[in-house]
Chains A and B, each alone.
Chain A
């Protein structure tokens, strides 16, 4: 049962992250699909990949993107 919840959080988290106007929020929310996928990997019998993904997907990628956002600009510009 728990895997279905993880799958739903993955997809929903991805969509929500992309819908944010605040880029810092979007960057942090990128971690939700990342960590859900890590748990899914554990469920799909890949514990070593899950460990790597837990670090990369839930910490490194969001932090990299968040750092970029802090160094550039916080909000999305209005597209014409």
Chain B
């Protein structure tokens, strides 16, 4: 049975997004939530890359010995890849900020449990 690898890649991305959202919403531990958020970002990145992929195509880097028309027809679509590069960096930096906040909050509450830390005391 031949399965389309692009389709399977979309499913992988989708399951990563679902796992990520599930972990971020329903797991109590803050570190687990953060890992979930990292998976969510990874899943979205994988989704974007899969969208730019062209089955049987070539890498979108134009080398001097290539023919323009041939390149234009076979190369994968480069715009999504540029977006992913930006998104990876954004994801890593926000992750660092969140982890810093978690370290401070753990010092204050002595706990990593979201239900203990993030309770709204109505102030």
Query: Is A in direct contact with B (CB under 8 Å) within the complex?
Result: yes
Chain A residues proximal to chain B, CB less than 8 Å = 3-4, 7, 10-11, 14-15, 17-18, 23, 26-27, 30, 33-34, 37, 40-41, 43-49, 52-53, 56-57, 60-61, 64-65, 67-69, 71-73, 76-77, 79-80
Given the complex of chains A and B, what is the CA–CA distance between A61 and B41 in angstroms? 12
Q: Which residues of B contact A49 (CB under 8 A)?
A: 45, 49, 81, 84-85, 88
Kindly supply a per-residue 1/0 record for chain B positions 21-57, scoring 1 wherever the CB is within 8 Å of any chain A CB and 0 otherwise.
0010001110110111011001001100110111001
Q: When the two chains form the complex, which single residue of B9, B35, B76, B92 contacts A3, counting CB atoms closer than 8 Å?
A: B9
Main secondary structure of the interface of B (DSSP, over half): helix
Q: Are B92 and A61 in contact (CB under 8 A)?
A: yes
By the criterion of a CB under 8 Å from any partner CB, how many residues of chain B are at the interface? 52
